[in-house]
């Protein structure tokens, strides 16, 4: 297991419900989660949570990270304030370090050109088409998509988003990963026994 932390981007208006399954399960599996903001000044989520970032974006290097998670936020669609996070995602991907983007963050990646040549998904295809990106033919109508080191998902799929992250980082695999998804997405009580037996609860 990599000792490198997972970096969770935090910024004003972030959709705090979109990454909870992923970060909670990663932390339970022994991964360190570090928050990264535009600066180290506090930010406030859509849910009114005040978050003090552990680090500023400029100070985070791909080689020091296992993954960059980009949650959605109103700011992705109302300003250019979060464009630096998309540029950082480019640096991560060019270095071969995974990036996971959900909801509005997928539009940020589209504007940066990072979805032009990769399979991806989002809320709906025309949401990304409105960015003017060139990757429309690579859009996939599904809950979450992993293409190489990039995970994308729409705003209604935080559990599928987490599933892809857990798979990508090798936290869970096969039957255990499937059971985890069935428990949290489908409320399948039978999946609980599989997870308990695997020590994954």
Q: Are 142 and 121 in contact (CB under 8 A)?
A: yes
Distance CA 148, CA 164 (A): 11
Length of the chain measured in residues = 201
Residue with tokens 């990769």: 118
- Sign of the dihedral defined by the CA atoms of residues 193, 197, 200, 201, in that order: positive
Q: Which residue in the list 101, 103, 114, 159 is annotated as catalytic?
A: 103
103 carries an active-site annotation: yes
Terminal-to-terminal C-alpha distance of the chain: 18
Q: What are phi and psi of 70, to 5 degrees?
A: -115, 105
Catalytic (active-site) positions:
103
């Amino acid at each position: 297991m990599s000792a490198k932390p997972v970096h969770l981007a935090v910024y004003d208006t972030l959709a705090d419900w979109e990454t909870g399954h992923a970060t909670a399960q990663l932390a339970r599996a022994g991964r360190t989660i570090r928050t990264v903001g535009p600066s180290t000044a506090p930010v406030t989520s859509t849910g009114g949570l005040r978050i003090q970032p552990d680090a500023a974006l400029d100070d985070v290097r791909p080689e020091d990270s296992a993954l960059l998670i980009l949650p959605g936020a109103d700011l992705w669609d109302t300003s250019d304030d979060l464009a630096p996070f998309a540029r950082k995602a480019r640096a991560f991907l060019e270095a071969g370090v995974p990036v996971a983007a959900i909801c509005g963050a997928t539009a940020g990646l589209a504007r940066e050109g990072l979805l032009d040549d990769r399979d991806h998904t989002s809320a709906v295809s025309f949401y990304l088409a409105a960015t003017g990106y060139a990757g429309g033919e690579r859009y996939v109508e599904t809950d979450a998509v992993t293409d190489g080191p990039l995970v994308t998902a729409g705003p209604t799929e935080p559990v599928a988003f987490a599933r892809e992250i857990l798979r990508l980082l090798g936290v869970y695999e096969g039957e255990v990963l499937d059971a985890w998804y069935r428990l949290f997405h489908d409320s399948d009580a039978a999946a609980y026994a599989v997870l308990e037996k695997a020590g994954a609860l």
